[in-house]
Structure 1
Amino acid sequence: MEILIKASQFILSLSLLIVLHELGHFIPAKLFKTRVEKFYLFFDYKFSIFKKKIGDTVYGIGWIPLGGYVKISGMIDESMDTEQMALPPQPWEFRSKPAWQRLIIMLGGVFVNFVLGIFIYIMLMYAYGEKFLPNDNLTDGVWVQDSLATKAGLETGDKILTIDGEKIRRFNDITLGLINGNNYQIERNGEVIDKEIPIDFISDLVDRGKDAGAILLPRYPFVIAGISEGSVNLNSDLKSKDIVVSINGNAIKYFDQAQAELDKYKNQDISITVKRGTEIKEVAVKVTDKGKLGVGIGQLSFKDLEKLGYYNLADIQYSFAEAIPAGWNKSWKTLTNYIKQLKKIFNPSTGAYKGLGGFISIGSIFPDEFSAESFWNITAFLSIMLGFMNLLPIPALDGGHVVFTLWEMITGKKPGDKFLEYAQVVGFILLVALLLFANGNDIFRLFK
């Protein structure tokens, strides 16, 4: 059922983005009296699930959910209609239109993607505002959860100040910042230290697997979730939801401080102090030969931590006027982060190419249960990503056509039809290779 919910959200989001992207080409083509022969959601190789001709255009749904397209008369595109191109140009054809009109038609899809992404982010800011844990609230630093963070030079208690010179505003931005960045600055025991992010940080992160958990967390209190069967403290007075605040008279505030204290008392009977609701209680416990209490560790939400006085969460609400710049800033941040990640992917030494994913990876980012806020957040991200990807100067993409049209406008020389055909084939091969690699990565990770 969870897979079905994820897949349904993915298909709905993808369909919306494809239709609006192609509409971005369709509308200016019609405005400039250019004939559009087909408008398709998904690809219709050999047959269509649905099609209907209205005027000069066949509207349809294909059976291959890898994208969509509009077929514009007199344009060399993925249809590779060389027979039409061999005939004399007609007034309604794309190739007969002035270069500036062709440029607008080609940029229409990308324009819609960017505008849609910005619009969604603005509306999300207006409807939901922003709720996050400010990085400045982590006055006692972070909890290092994984050897990968240790390899990057981090220790529990470090306060992460900046990444690539940019101040970290949200705690949740830290891991993405380490992925995209090259260096960072921390405060450790009152000293400010500059650190380099290892070149293979992303490679190691991918190798951990997506289910390995966070490499960093806010520092949590020692909350008891329950007593394990067979535990040396099964018959003790410990209760679920107790918060350990002292071990044998030594105060602790965070769970990461507990192990060092317990290691001092292996195989001993000791007293610990717990906070139980509003009460403070002393409890006699035994410590195992491995320095454990034999209890389950409870996880707390940010809201729970706020109630306990550990952190103050930011909850910013925006008027519609305020949501406009906030949504724009969110869109710009999303785009620049994506560009940084692409740069890492094209640098083999980072190993970021191993994290490149296809449809399974994209589908997996949708939540197991439908949430309007999450759905639209992901759709906005995908819209901006799709817009940027289509701007890449690859012949089979909008960006490739834009490059050739700009060349014509600058030099006054139009590339020949044969050259454009060959360029389209090369671009198509590159895209197929990228598609196979990305989805191959997904399959490899599934088996791994």
Structure 2
Amino acid sequence: MDIVIKLSQFLLSLSLLIILHELGHFIPAKLFKTRVEKFYLFFDVKYSLLKKKIGETEYGIGWLPLGGYVKISGMIDESMDKEQMALPPQPWEFRSKPAWQRLIIMLGGVTVNFILAFIIYIGMAFAYGETYVANGDLKDGVYVTNPALEKAGIHTGDKIISIDGKKIENFDDDTNMKVVMAKEILIERNGQQQTVKFPTDFVDQMSKYEKGLLITPRIPFVVGAVSEDSQNKSLKAKDLFVTLNGQQAKYFDQVKAILSANKGKTIAAVVLRDLKQTTITVKVSKEGKLGVAPGGLDIKSLEKLGYYKISTKEYSFAESIQVGLEKGKNQLIGYGKQLKMIFNPETKAYKQVGGFAAIFNIFPSSWSWETFWSITALLSIMLGVMNLLPIPALDGGHVMFLLYEIISGKKPSDKFLENAQMVGFVLLIALLLFANGNDIYKAIVK
């Protein structure tokens, strides 16, 4: 059932992005009286799953879910329709239109992608508001979950003051991405501030460990369930550790450290049970385990116990516009930085480029509209940016040649554009194979 939910979200998001992107080309083409021969969701190699011709355009759904397309008359594209291009130009064809109209048609797809992302962020700000923990409320610092971050110099209990010179006011969903992209982080440890400089290949180092968040607010160790063969039947589900062996055990990481230091021993423990402190003894296994499954607490319980205050800010529609635009701008800048890292061999970030499997795995196994829209907005930005790359066969390649034509007054020959399209197509296939090959390699190694 989990995979069905993930697949449903993946296909819904992908379909929405493809259709709206192609509409971005379709609508201005129609406005400029340019004939659109096909409008397809997914590729119809050899045959289509569904098709219907309305007017001069055939609308359909292909069987290969690697994207979608609109086939515009008189345009050198992935269809490589040389027979049509050999005929004299017709008034309804793309090649017969002024360069500025062709430019608008080609920029339509990415424009829609960016507008869609900003609209989603505005809608999310209005519908869900903003949930965060004030950075100042993390009195005991953060919990580091990835060993690569430890090696870089950030430890559990450190307070993060600023990232690349920008002060961190709130700990929220974007904090982890800021850490991933960081060059240096100012932290406070034992009352002293110090700057931690990150290695150039941090992204590559980080990827060698289990994927997930790099840092989280520190959380308590709560007993989720006691295994049948556990020697600690005195523990009950929902017990929360207060002290272990006379040492403070307020946080999960503290409990782990104390257990590791007392392997094979019987030690005293104080747990919070039904809001009352209870003293018991626990047997630590030779592996430093208690024979229990960790549990969790909801936000309200954590707040009630005084761990930290969860803040939720609601916005009016007018306020949501500003918040959504700011969020979209930050995501766009952030993705631009990621691309810069990928194209820099020193970072080795290219090893983390993923294909369709990587995108599929972003979606959760339980349905959440908030998560769905957040991922869709980010994918829309990614699709827009990637399509703007100046690679022939992508929108950015067409835009590059059109800008050359507008500036120089000279139109590249059809033969040149055909050859460029072929080169671009080969590059895209190579990128596709590389990205999806990375997915396969990671799956095999894992």
TM-score of Structure 1 vs Structure 2, range by shorter chain: over 0.9
Structure 1 counterpart of 2:406, from 383, 386, 409 = 409
Deviation readout 1:208-260 (Å, 9 max, x if unpaired): 243xx5443322223233444444433x4x33222222335444432333455
Partner of 1:91: 91
State how far apart, in whole Å, the 1-side matches of 2:357 and 2:256 are.
Answer: 39
Q: CA RMSD in A?
A: 2.2
Q: Which residue of 1 aligns with 2:197?
A: 196
Q: 1:114 to 1:267 in 2, by over 3 A?
A: closer
Q: Is the 8 Å Cα contact of residues 135 and 171 (structure 1) preserved in structure 2?
A: no
Unaligned runs of 5+ in 1: none
402, 405, 418: which is aligned to 2:415?
418
**Deviation per residue, 1:342-373 (Å, 9 max, x gap):** 11111222221121111111112112122222
The counterpart of 2:365, out of the listed 364, 368, 371, is 368
Query: What does residue 66 of structure 1 align with?
Result: 66
Q: Distance in 1 between matches of 2:96 and 2:262?
A: 86
Amino acid at match of 1:194: T
For the pair 1:325 / 2:322, whether they are aligned, the reply is: yes
Structure 2: which amino acid aligns with 1:233? Answer: N
Identity of aligned residues (%): 61
Q: Which amino acid aligns with 2:378?
A: F
Structure 2 residue runs of 5 or longer lacking an equivalent are none
Indicate whether 1:396 and 2:393 are aligned.
yes
Matches within 5 A, 1:264-275: 270-275=267-272
Q: Distance in 2 between matches of 1:152 and 1:162?
A: 16
Counterpart of 1:216 in structure 2 is: 215
Deviation at residue 267 of structure 1 after TM alignment:
6.0
Q: 1:73 to 1:191 in 2, by over 3 A?
A: same
Mapping 1:307-346, distance limit 5 Å: 307-346=304-343
1:441 aligned counterpart, secondary structure = helix
Give the whole-Å Cα distance in 2 for the aligned partners of 1:428 and 1:265. 61
After superposition, residues 38-437 of structure 1 pair within 5 angstroms as 38-168=38-168, 169-210=170-211, 213-234=212-233, 236=234, 238-258=235-255, 261=258, 270-286=267-283, 293-437=290-434
TM-superposed CA distance for 1:289, in Å, is 6.1
Aligned residue identity for 1:333: N
For residues 292 and 80 of structure 1, the distance between their equivalents in structure 2, rounded to whole angstroms, comes to 64
CA contact (8 A) 2:131 2:172 kept: no
Aligned residue type for 1:199: T
Query: 1:22 deviation in Å?
Result: 1.0
SS at the partner of 2:180?
A: helix
Q: Name 1:30's counterpart in structure 2.
A: 30
Give 3-state SS (helix, strand or coil) of 2:174's partner.
helix
Q: 1:259 to 1:129 in 2, by over 3 A?
A: closer
Question: Could you say what secondary structure the match of 2:76 adopts?
Answer: coil
Are residues 5 and 264 of structure 1, via their aligned partners in 2, closer, same or farther at CA, if it must alter by over 3 Å?
closer
Shift of 1:145: 3.1
Relative distance call for 1:318 and 1:3 in structure 2 (3 A) is same
8 Å CA contact retained: 1:133, 1:172: no
Amino acid at match of 2:155: E
CA distance in 1, matches of 2:398, 2:163: 37
Q: TM-score, normalised by structure 2?
A: 0.93
Cα distance change, pair 276–399 in 1 and its aligned pair in 2 (3 A): same
Moved more, 424-433 or 51-60: 51-60
Distance in 2, Cα, partners of 1:290 & 1:45: 56
